[in-house]
Structure 1
Amino acid sequence: QKTPEDDEREAHDRELRDNPPRDDDLGPAVQFEGDDPYSQQNHIYDKSRPENLDFLRKLRTLMDKYPGTFTLGEIGDDHPYERTVEYTGAGLLNTCYNTQLMSGKHKELTADFIREPLEKFAELSDGNWPSWAFSNHDVVRTASRWLPDSDGFSHDPDCAKMLIALLTCLRGTTFLYQGEELGLPEAKLNFEDLQDPWGKHLWPEWQGRDGCRTPLPWTDNKPEKAWLPMSDDHLALAVEAQQRNPESVLNFTKEFLNFRNENRALQHGQLNFQDSANNQIMFERCLGQNHILCAFNLTDQPQHLQMPMLGDPQTLFAQNFDGKTLERFGFALLEIE
């Protein structure tokens, strides 16, 4: 016999109603941008149900009995920022991240692409703490996805470094997916190597999610047997090799995260976007008297830094920056008065 607790655990609509057809203005419901049954529905009855909130309150009450715990939700919703604010209200989750900065193989990296989600969340937020990620186990690796003119499997170390700096300069908790700290590109697989049922179904239009799920290369020795084959292109990017290279993406990531951990403005400060060309993104992180201007060239072409009148700013951390020009995938963090 069903109990009230059983009802509260239900993730689906209690009346088992069908989802209506999807509104065109919502765009794809998943990271695959082609025709897919899941993207033909407006998902209002099979997820993000009101009953979830009662469960989350009980979960948070339990977690609060254990000091130092942190609750995190993953939002996959047609209205991600509204849902994130709802799920991180008083007595609910500490934070949520969503897939809006990850979905799609063909979304161009522009200032607006980054700026609009953060400003939308800030507009809706009532002190809620955001989280952001560029990659996870379900999407094309960022090193390939946002590399200009990429074939979907290429990579550039400077681009990978710039993206890690950009992500970890955003306001909120940030998540790096395994291999992102190595600058790993998307792995190209043969059909017979695929394990993802979705990839098998969509082949050859898309290989699915297995390209970001291949084994992490700790050494340049290729394993004889694994769930997925290790990409030959990943062997030269192995942890062991990158640890020996002071210019590697791995050592950059360690250095930059140490820098971030020592800077309270980057951890806790407010974020204010500055107007810039769409191929360059610029914002301030501010905490008390500490003001940092963060500027990023999102392209492989030199961009003049469109900097407001700042006097004589001090460069705190930079890549491919000569004081006036952000070279390919260049960025600069400048302390301003």
Structure 2
Amino acid sequence: MSLAVAEAPRALIEKDPDWWRGAVIYQIYPRSFQDSNGDGVGDLGGIVRRLPYIASLGVDAIWISPFFTSPMKDFGYDVSNYRDVDPLFGSLADFDRVIETAHGLGVRVMIDLVLSHTSDEHPWFTESRSSRRNDRANWYVWADPKPDGTAPNNWLSIFGGSAWQWDSRREQYYLHNFLVSQPDLNFHEPEVQEAMLDVARFWLDRGVDGFRLDVINFYFHDKYLRDNPPLPPELRNSTIAPSVNPYNHQEHLYSKNQPENLAFLRRLRAEMEPYGAAAVGEVGDAQRGLQIMGQYTAGNDLMQMCYAFEFLAKDPPTAGRIAEVMNRVDEEASHGWACWAFSNHDVMRHTSRWQLGPDQNRMLATLIMCLRGSVCLYQGEELGLPEADVSYEDLQDPYGIEFWPEYKGRDGCRTPMPWEPSNQYAGFTEVKPWLPVSIKHLHRSVASQEQDGDALLHHYRRVISLRHEHFALMKGEHSAVRHLGDVLYFSREHDGVQIYCAFNVSGEPALFDLPEGRWRQVGSELDTAEVPEDGKVRLGPWQVCLAERQL
């Protein structure tokens, strides 16, 4: 690639500070994307190798899950050094190659910042736990026991059991919302906030275009350490192990979701603004996720985007369910901006979770590209990968090991990316990989689908291209999302152009009447329904109608 060609996309990148609005972001789980050094684990060099493939999808950005120095007890979400790359994934020089290569291909780079907690092997925690009197004594959440020696309150860990761990050095408990080895930082301490903002600046100066912010609503805890109230059984709707995890028995009013978070998010936004960078926050709350998303993305001084878990849940995506979620967004977050995802590294792949066939996968891929908001795609989603079966002996995820067999953990969505069907490792590596390659994935590999013009991979390319061709679908406003039986419908508008979107969310044919007007068919390359002059559209099973008119 010549220098002139490499620079041209970067120049386009810098012209649009609003690039994130309507962007399509491709999530890379680096351990499982591509191994470049033959150790069975994906790495940054592997990402560099496969970036041309990602660019060929037409996405705007990549989001790379954590690659920082870590003991890997939670696979990188337990950071021991925020300013370096774990040797498992390469080096800072390798990361610089990711930035250079991605920008040369016109793709932005977002990285996963885990700010709410660190590893217990982080030097900050080592110092903090050494005594009650040191420079970082207050950098983590420490509390005295109750008079009977028990934990300070009833807060629970997402990984099961109390969120408090006794430490004999300080003779106090420390808070860990996740693993015992992931102590929570104390954001009520101004120096902690400064340290986290400095981490963000370090990576912005290195060239990143934004951040995915892990559990963005967990930064602050209630400084009075009040008990969480119980959650009625009918409201226990967590996306992860709702029936077997006691964490889902509480309403987490005080262990997260604190109002002080808004001021910190404004400070973080101010740091990003000169760089033209953007952030998407993960809102980890099953009951109030959309409300918090609305709070955190309202106005121009908070986060650009957040995503909640409504479409990462088990609830089947019926027309009624989709309309319900989108109408709640209009109520709770009408002035904010959502980032939608059907799959990620924490939940069962949606092909299996919703038991989708090929036509359903195509319809939902088109739907997510038409919804108001930005989009996150998880690696392999474009291939229609089902959840992999991972035996107990091969499990790596501490969540799955803890709750087996009722909950098998997250390894089934984290198995290696299948690049080709030619060997048992699917082109991911030449040695035994850290998780086994699913046999079910081999015939859905990238190489196999590249040779099949009707494959789902090509549908994703076409629908991403369609989104970019129509600003109404990328950045436009939308009407109320409604449904008539199994037909979901709404319109998107931008700069005098309206696109009407109707989706047959069923396996039976359906009839649908467009509003009066002169409409033309959009997306014929996606097999969208024809638009007759009388506006009476015939929708086949799982078929979509996209119709455009000038206002």
Tell me the distance in 1 between the aligned counterparts of 2:424 and 2:220: 42
The structure number with the bigger radius of gyration is: 2
1:330 equivalenced with 2:543 (yes/no): yes
Tell me the distance in 2 between the aligned counterparts of 1:53 and 1:311: 45
Tell me which residue corresponds to 1:156. 357
1:222 equivalenced with 2:424 (yes/no): yes
Tell me the distance in 2 between the aligned counterparts of 1:61 and 1:312: 45
Gaps of 5+ in 1: 148-154
Q: Is the 8 A contact 1:302 1:325 kept in 2?
A: no
Tell me which residue corresponds to 1:165. 366
Tell me which residue corresponds to 1:198. 399
* CA deviation after TM superposition for structure 1 residue 187, in Å: 1.1
Tell me the distance in 1 between the aligned counterparts of 2:391 and 2:513: 47
Question: Which residue identity is paired with 1:109?
Answer: P
1:131 equivalenced with 2:339 (yes/no): yes
Question: Which residue identity is paired with 1:139?
Answer: V
1:295 equivalenced with 2:502 (yes/no): yes
The structure whose RCO (Cα within 8 Å, separation 6+) is larger is 2
* CA deviation after TM superposition for structure 1 residue 41, in Å: 0.9
Tell me which residue corresponds to 1:152. none
In structure 2, do the counterparts of structure 1 residues 126 and 156 end up closer, same or farther at CA, with 3 Å as the change threshold? closer
Tell me which residue corresponds to 1:41. 250
Tell me the distance in 2 between the aligned counterparts of 1:309 and 1:45: 48
In structure 2, do the counterparts of structure 1 residues 120 and 51 end up closer, same or farther at CA, with 3 Å as the change threshold? same
1:238 equivalenced with 2:445 (yes/no): yes
* CA deviation after TM superposition for structure 1 residue 316, in Å: 1.0
* CA deviation after TM superposition for structure 1 residue 65, in Å: 2.4
Which of 131, 144, 150 pairs up with 2:352? 144
Gaps of 5+ in 2: 1-134, 140-188, 197-218, 426-430, 532-536
Question: Which residue identity is paired with 1:211?
Answer: G
* CA deviation after TM superposition for structure 1 residue 320, in Å: 6.7
Tell me the distance in 2 between the aligned counterparts of 1:321 and 1:92: 40
Question: Which residue identity is paired with 1:222?
Answer: Q
Question: Which residue identity is paired with 2:258?
Answer: R
Q: Is the 8 A contact 2:294 2:335 kept in 1?
A: no
Identity level (%): 38
Tell me the distance in 2 between the aligned counterparts of 1:258 and 1:305: 27
Q: Is the 8 A contact 2:320 2:483 kept in 1?
A: no
The TM-score normalised by the length of structure 2 is 0.55
Tell me the distance in 2 between the aligned counterparts of 1:98 and 1:119: 14
* CA deviation after TM superposition for structure 1 residue 237, in Å: 0.8
Tell me the distance in 1 between the aligned counterparts of 2:509 and 2:480: 18
Question: Which residue identity is paired with 1:64?
Answer: E
CA RMSD of aligned residues (A): 2.3
3-state SS of 2:522 partner:
strand
* CA deviation after TM superposition for structure 1 residue 271, in Å: 1.5
Moved more, 257-266 or 6-15: 6-15
* CA deviation after TM superposition for structure 1 residue 126, in Å: 5.4
1:179 equivalenced with 2:371 (yes/no): no
Tell me the distance in 2 between the aligned counterparts of 1:198 and 1:97: 22
Tell me the distance in 2 between the aligned counterparts of 1:306 and 1:28: 34
Tell me which residue corresponds to 1:264. 471
* CA deviation after TM superposition for structure 1 residue 74, in Å: 0.8
Which of 513, 517, 522 pairs up with 1:307? 513
Cα deviation digits, residues 42-74 of structure 1 (max 9, x gap): 1111111222222212211111121x2112111
Tell me which residue corresponds to 1:207. 408
* CA deviation after TM superposition for structure 1 residue 274, in Å: 5.7
In structure 2, do the counterparts of structure 1 residues 100 and 182 end up closer, same or farther at CA, with 3 Å as the change threshold? same
Cα deviation digits, residues 263-303 of structure 1 (max 9, x gap): 0111122212464334321111122432212111222x222
